[in-house]
Structure 1
Amino acid sequence: MSREFEMCLMGELQFFLGLQIKQGLEGTFVHQAKYTRDILKKFNMGDSKPMTTPMSTNTALDADEDGEAVDQKEFRGMIGSLLYLTATRPDIQFAVCLCARYQASPRISHRQAVKRIFMYLKFTPELGLWYFSGSSLSLRGFSDADHAGCRIDRKSTSGTCQLLGTSFVSWFSRKQVSVALSTTEAEYIAAASCCSQLLWMKATLSDFGLRFGRIPLLVDSTSAISVAKNPVLHSRTKRIDVRFHFLRDHYEKGDIDLIHVVSANQLADIFTKPLEFDAFTRLRGELGVLQVEGVDNALIKGEIESQWTGLIALLV
């Protein structure tokens, strides 16, 4: 680049737009520890009680129209700050997106849920994403859905994530646009969204000379897989929007390969519902969300590889 542009050497990248980057021989660690401490201080949560998960499994948010209203400006500020943090903290993605649905008319119950996320950040301020330099360039995706999870309109929540080797590069947690009449339909719609993202990544990576065959898409619903593999539309699928059936087309073209994965190994589960501490921390680690400060990179490399041993075996 220096041959084409006038540049000055400023050293290795360490801080950029709130992102802190730590580079080593074994890989790169990206985190927002300073930003996390800043927003805890900004919203007077620095002395709060630490919590081990961002959301309780008993939490069931709704419009709470009878609840006491809170400052909308402050609530939106908290949500906006947390949304920026999800750039390196996918472990809070579901909780933040769920609370963000109530920005138009926030209540005390909604603010308490947001404060719970800050309490979790107080417990884990140093977490970030670890990208292992020796990771293979294999592309795979995971998709999951929580059927009728929204208590207001009974729409389902889709959760997907995409990995390049062992590096967690893309994810989202989003309420579906239509009401799914069954778990199969909700899972099918989520898989279609994941397929769309995988195809976009495949096209983008082809510009760098990377070529992929059938991309594994891991789904924990055998019924949804059967619907995608069945070339005949029947009564159980006629209510599914036509735009989601491109999943079936790309399976037939050989662009993706739908593979069943047991629910315990479904990485996208963390984006669809609150989880117990043990399941939450296990999935968080398998996604590469780790605390690197004070830990030898070689040990982290071994941790990542051991966590992926069982999942990679599913693809062989």
Structure 2
Amino acid sequence: MDVKSAFLNGYTEEEVYVRQPPGFESAKFSDRVYKLRKALYGLKQAPRAWYARLKSFLLKSGFVMGSVDKTLFLLSHGGDVLIVQIYVDDIIFGGSSHALVSSFAKQMSREFEMSLMGELQFFLGLQIKQGPEGTFVHQAKYTRDILKKFDLGDPKLMTTPMSTNTTLDADEDGEAVDQKKFQEMIGSLLYLTATRPDIQFAVCLCARYQASPRISHHQAVKRIFRYLKFTPKLGLWYSSGSSLFLRGFSDADHAGCLIDRKSTSVSPYPPQKENTYIFAASYCSQLLWMKATLSDFGLSFGRIPLLLKTPSCTRTKHIDVRFHFLRDHYEKGDIDLIHVEGVDNALIKGEIESQWTGLIALLM
């Protein structure tokens, strides 16, 4: 559902005055100003005031706010549950009972002026296709749009987003390219990674050179677009019959960056550059966030396995902080730290790839 004129529903806590807008000037009191009773579009307080009004209404209606995501609200009624997710004035909701969902829609329509959009099919550039076997989330339309925007003519199609022997560096002697256009291409691709983990490493690697892009960097980005043209309908498939579990993989390429010799991660998360010993604590934080978020949906997990290599450490100041953070959560029973020898890294990568293959599906 979509809230019409959402910001006009908010109430400001401060006294706010505005000049008389064109067309609404008072001939009798031309030297006076208006005092706002409600929030107004263009007012800095408007988004916060609208959220406070909606939050108050939902809490009074029996909803409980998510422990991690403060835009997530849940309502339990008997054995059924209703889930509401808010993005400014757009609201996604669903539940295990049609009666509960219908009741919520009527309740919201009585309180606010709403537009009911029906079953979720398109949201923030994401396309959603639901069926009895599962849910498919993809960005096929967005992919077609950016391919059209950055027209490459009739390029040769590529079966991979980046060659395995590609080694990008600053290439200071290379010919410079249009920085603005390069940044636009990177920005468009970064949004696409929401449903395309297969291009994430290649896009993040190219994104490091936005400050001074060269032809070699531009060629690498063009290859990603050629790959997208070959696979425009790839997305994420969530099977209704699949089991859910959490497991972390941390594999850092020691001194892998050719510029500053910092290590780079090669995990399912966006590839980062850091000193290797920081990665384990970073991934532990991600796992704890996911665990807390999923607990709001009634899913509980015991100790989450985190498979990692022993990182190379050089600065004890950071080691101390990260070590105690990991040790504390290990002792609390949140995670299990599992050391993997270098010879077994191929097994970890193979398991990651097999899981990604299970998530990525072709839109039929």
TM-score band, normalised by shorter chain? 0.7 to 0.9
Amino acid at match of 1:4: Q
Deviation readout 1:258-306 (Å, 9 max, x if unpaired): 2356423425998xxxxxxxxx7x56414x112131xxxxxxxxxxxxx
Q: Which residue of 2 aligns with 1:251?
A: 330
* Structure with greater Cα Rg: 2
* Aligned counterpart for 1:175 among listed residues 270, 273, 280: 273
Go from structure 1 to structure 2 and tell me whether the alpha carbon gap of 1:95 and 1:291 turns closer, same or farther (over 3 Å shift).
same
Greater mean alpha carbon deviation, residues 136-145 or residues 77-86? 136-145
Distance, in Å, in 1 between the alignment partners of 2:201 and 2:350 is 10
Amino acid at match of 1:253: K
Go from structure 1 to structure 2 and tell me whether the alpha carbon gap of 1:239 and 1:52 turns closer, same or farther (over 3 Å shift).
farther
Amino acid at match of 1:251: Y
Q: Which residue of 1 aligns with 2:348?
A: 266
Distance, in Å, in 1 between the alignment partners of 2:351 and 2:160 is 15
Give the superposition deviation at 1:35.
Answer: 1.1
Amino acid at match of 1:263: N
8 Å Cα contact 1:62-1:152 kept in structure 2: yes
| TM-score scaled by length of structure 1 | 0.73
List aligned pairs for 1:149-188, cutoff 5 A.
Answer: 149-161=256-268, 171-176=269-274, 178=275, 186=276, 188=277
* Aligned counterpart for 1:195 among listed residues 273, 284, 301: 284
8 Å Cα contact 1:217-1:258 kept in structure 2: yes
* Aligned counterpart for 1:122 among listed residues 222, 229, 251: 229
List aligned pairs for 1:1-40, cutoff 5 A.
Answer: 1-6=104-109, 7-40=114-147
* Aligned counterpart for 1:212 among listed residues 289, 301, 314: 301
Q: Which residue of 1 aligns with 2:250?
A: 143
Structure 1 unmatched ranges of 5 or more: 162-170, 179-185, 228-234, 271-279, 294-316
Distance, in Å, in 1 between the alignment partners of 2:339 and 2:135 is 31
List aligned pairs for 1:61-100, cutoff 5 A.
Answer: 61-100=168-207
Q: Is 1:285 paired with 2:357?
A: yes
Deviation readout 1:31-55 (Å, 9 max, x if unpaired): 1111111111211125211111111
8 Å Cα contact 1:32-1:88 kept in structure 2: yes
Structure 2 unmatched ranges of 5 or more: 1-103
8 Å Cα contact 2:278-2:322 kept in structure 1: yes
Amino acid at match of 2:235: G
Structure 1 runs (4+) deviating above 4 angstroms are 267-270
Amino acid at match of 2:167: A
8 Å Cα contact 1:160-1:268 kept in structure 2: no
| TM-score scaled by length of structure 2 | 0.64
Q: Which of 1 and 2 has higher RCO (CA within 8 Å, sep 6+)?
A: 1
Distance, in Å, in 2 between the alignment partners of 1:269 and 1:65 is 38
8 Å Cα contact 1:18-1:32 kept in structure 2: yes
Q: Percent identity among equivalent residues?
A: 72
SS of the residue 1:172 aligns to:
coil
Greater mean alpha carbon deviation, residues 132-141 or residues 104-113? 132-141
Distance, in Å, in 2 between the alignment partners of 1:238 and 1:268 is 33
SS of the residue 1:28 aligns to:
strand
Amino acid at match of 1:173: P
Distance, in Å, in 2 between the alignment partners of 1:117 and 1:124 is 10
Distance, in Å, in 2 between the alignment partners of 1:81 and 1:159 is 22
8 Å Cα contact 1:160-1:190 kept in structure 2: no
Q: Which residue of 1 aligns with 2:151?
A: 44
